[in-house]
């Protein structure tokens, strides 16, 4: 696992544990022994630690975190893991021979901690560096909170540690994280020279020049005050950094060990780890094993509205040439301008070079001609959510394109069987439901209808991955997975409004639960007309869902569609999407209550949360029972990525499981009796299966 080679006074230790050199206990112990051996070898003047020419290490083996999260005593296991890694990396730093890390590719987590334990660091151009542990609800456990501030200063260190954001090689050099950046071909040669000529080891843990920045710790306290109390990792990171500055490096190590253990003992961290692995599993589809996915070398999008523009931007960001066809030249112009502004913002933020922006924009062309899409390998229709419109567009795509072209519909609710009616090659039709904004949202539902070619579905799945999206394969049924679960949640919020809960109370309860937005503010953002139209499809397919509160139809009749009309449930100032209380909505609610003879009452935050979350859970169990999703974890991943369900609660089914299925079943039965049959649990849950 660690190759040992000595030449001209330099010992090259090469991590050799395919495919990604993940750091396991065994690899770390072997590395420790190799460093000890090189340190006592009289033929060795310096040591170079490296990986493959393009990849150093993926960091700690993520399966270790899954094992810890499911262990009977996760805290004890976490403390042991931190101690083993810390001691091994300290042995690297304590080596009497200069140790140079020669790194390429992505340097994340424990891989970066290992490099920081080396005395010098040189990287290939294109390398990236980050400490993403906070996204899993944990903190670095191998010395990162102590060494990173000593190399880059507390402010830059805390930014990397608390946000999990990566930096590129140039930024790493500017901050002092690496000593040199070179071409990949020269990496080992330059590292060997550095190891041979270095007079003495430069031990990172003893550096103090950059630690005098008390303001950075105060700024960290401000960030922490905005965090979730359930997620303790950010606080533990700040505590370890503070201890390493105010006390000593060893104090940071002690705080890392205890903090790592405390984090792993929390439900929030274990839920985050569950979501991490759930998102990795979604792309594994046994039924597509052996299916030959085609290469999409050129794509087309039909429709340059909001969704079509976002999809086109996602395609060009992945380096795929795309032509967008729309019959409206003005829409094409507006769409091109939106893409241009978005790309320019990325340049301004330092996320894209001017040359890269030019190359991206050069991949996008627009047209009103159908003939321009003839060479596309895959065509995505992103037109208005209307059966007749989509059928007409799909027919035009078939007429314009090669027989081998795949037709993908971005429908969010309509059955693909309905859209496939009349197609000459219905086996080439798949669903690719992107979420708005399509170039930023990480989820894509891949919809497979009975009779769809396996290769077509596999191609859509592969394309979604190439766009750096998380694909979730779903069976063809109205609403698919996300909208099937999420629309009932939004509808229930309007029923609570009709029953007497204040809009602000409803939204506050759900943001307190962990959603990024409340359901009523989100409905305003999406458009109340869209909610109304979507519900018509879903309530027609699933009568059990019940009606939508008359409040929505009344608002739409009045032209109050949400943010786009500056009035919906809330009112909005020009250019400001902050929701404000709206007197007219309160009056409309009173009218609806009077017409339906509703006696309004107040609701506690817990009652609101219970109603809304259990409505989602109820529908999720139906989705699972009907085989819409392949596995329960797919539903968890989709609800986190597609609805904003808080990841620290693990997704809707994980959350229900943590509550206890017996309790959930009993509460759903009570709500079905007291509120409505829409809460009736599915047969499998009702019978306790």
Give the catalytic positions in this structure.
Answer: 113, 133
Q: How far apart are CA 621 and CA 632, in angstroms?
A: 9
Indicate the pairing of strand 364-367 with strand 322-325.
Answer: parallel
Return all residues near 607 (Cβ < 8 A) that are at least 6 apart.
none
The encoded tokens of residue 301 equal 């999008």
Q: Dihedral (C-alpha) 471, 526, 411, 283: value to the nearest 10 degrees?
A: 0
Q: How far apart are CA 204 and CA 36, in angstroms?
A: 18
Q: How far apart are CA 150 and CA 131, in angstroms?
A: 15
The number of C-alpha atoms within 13 Å of 605 and in the hemisphere containing its C-beta is 11
Q: How far apart are CA 394 and CA 622, in angstroms?
A: 31
Return all residues near 151 (Cβ < 8 A) that are at least 6 apart.
116, 157, 175, 176, 177, 204, 207, 210
Burial class (CB in 10 A: 0-12, 13-18, 19+), 637: buried
Yes or no: say if 534 and 412 are a contact pair by the CB < 8 Å rule: yes
Neighbours of 361 (CB within 10 A): 14
Yes or no: say if 297 and 274 are a contact pair by the CB < 8 Å rule: no
Q: How far apart are CA 231 and CA 246, in angstroms?
A: 24
Is the dihedral angle over the CA atoms 660, 663, 666, 671 positive or is it negative? negative
Nearest 5 degrees, angle CA 34-CA 37-CA 39?
110
């Amino acid at each position: 696992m660690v190759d040992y080679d000595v030449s001209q006074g330099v010992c090259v230790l090469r991590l050799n544990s395919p495919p990604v050199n993940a750091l396991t206990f065994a690899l770390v112990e072997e590395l420790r022994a190799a460093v000890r051996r090189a340190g006592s070898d009289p033929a060795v003047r310096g040591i170079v630690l490296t990986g493959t020419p393009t990849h150093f290490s993926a960091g700690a083996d993520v399966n270790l975190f899954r094992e810890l999260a499911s262990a009977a005593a996760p805290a004890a296991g976490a403390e042991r893991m931190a101690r083993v890694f810390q001691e091994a990396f300290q042995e690297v730093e304590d080596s009497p021979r200069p140790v140079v890390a020669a790194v390429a590719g992505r340097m994340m987590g424990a891989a970066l901690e290992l490099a920081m334990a080396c005395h010098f660091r040189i990287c290939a151009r294109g390398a990236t560096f980050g400490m993403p542990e906070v996204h899993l609800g944990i903190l670095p456990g191998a010395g990162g909170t102590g060494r990173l501030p000593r190399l880059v200063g507390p402010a830059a260190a805390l930014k990397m540690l608390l946000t999990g954001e990566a930096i590129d090689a140039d930024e790493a050099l500017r901050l002092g994280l690496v000593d040199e950046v070179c071409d990949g071909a020269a990496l080992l040669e330059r590292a060997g020279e550095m190891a041979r000529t270095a007079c003495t080891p430069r031990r990172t843990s003893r550096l103090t020049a950059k630690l005098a920045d008390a303001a950075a710790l105060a700024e960290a306290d401000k960030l922490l005050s905005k965090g979730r109390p359930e997620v303790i990792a950010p606080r533990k990171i700040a505590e370890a950094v503070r201890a390493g500055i105010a006390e000593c490096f060893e104090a940071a190590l002690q705080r890392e060990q205890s903090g790592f253990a405390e984090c792993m003992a929390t439900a929030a961290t274990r839920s985050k780890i569950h979501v991490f692995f759930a998102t990795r599993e979604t792309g594994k589809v046994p039924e597509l094993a052996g299916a030959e996915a085609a290469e999409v070398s050129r794509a087309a999008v039909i429709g340059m509205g909001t969704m079509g523009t976002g999809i086109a931007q996602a395609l060009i960001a992945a380096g795929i040439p795309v032509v967008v066809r729309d019959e409206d030249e003005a829409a094409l112009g507006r769409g091109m301008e939106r893409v241009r502004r978005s790309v320019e913002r990325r340049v301004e933020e330092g996320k894209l070079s001017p040359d890269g922006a030019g190359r991206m924009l050069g991949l996008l062309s627009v047209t009103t001609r159908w003939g321009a899409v003839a060479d596309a390998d895959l065509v995505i229709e992103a037109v208005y959510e209307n059966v007749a419109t989509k059928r007409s567009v799909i027919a035009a795509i078939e007429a314009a394109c090669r027989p081998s072209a795949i037709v993908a519909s971005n429908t969010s609710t309509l059955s693909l069987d309905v859209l496939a009616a009349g197609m000459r090659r219905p086996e080439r039709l798949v669903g690719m439901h992107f979420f708005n904004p399509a170039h930023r949202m990480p989820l894509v539902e891949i919809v497979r209808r009975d009779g769809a070619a396996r290769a077509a579905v596999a191609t859509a799945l592969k394309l979604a991955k190439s766009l750096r999206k998380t694909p979730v394969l779903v069976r063809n049924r109205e609403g698919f997975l996300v909208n099937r679960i999420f629309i009932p949640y939004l509808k229930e919020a309007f029923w609570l409004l009709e029953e007497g809960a204040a809009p602000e109370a409803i939204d506050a309860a759900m943001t307190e639960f962990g959603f990024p937005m409340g359901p009523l503010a989100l409905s305003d953002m999406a458009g109340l007309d869209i909610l109304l139209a979507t519900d018509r499809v879903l309530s027609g397919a699933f009568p059990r869902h019940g009606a939508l509160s008359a409040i929505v139809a009344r608002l739409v009749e009045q032209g109050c569609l949400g943010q786009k009309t500056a009035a919906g449930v809330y009112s909005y100032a020009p250019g400001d999407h902050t929701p404000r209380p709206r007197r007219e909505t309160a009056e409309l609610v009173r009218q609806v209550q009077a017409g339906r003879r509703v006696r309004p009452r107040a609701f506690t935050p817990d009652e609101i949360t219970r109603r809304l979350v259990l409505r989602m859970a109820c529908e999720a169990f139906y989705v699972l029972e009907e085989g819409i999703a392949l596995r329960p974890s797919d539903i968890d991943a989709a609800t986190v990525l597609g609805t904003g369900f808080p990841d620290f609660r693990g997704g809707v089914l994980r959350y229900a499981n943590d509550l206890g299925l017996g309790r959930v079943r009993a509460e759903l039965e009570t709500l079905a009796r007291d509120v409505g049959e829409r809460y009736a649990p599915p047969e499998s849950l009702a019978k306790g299966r």
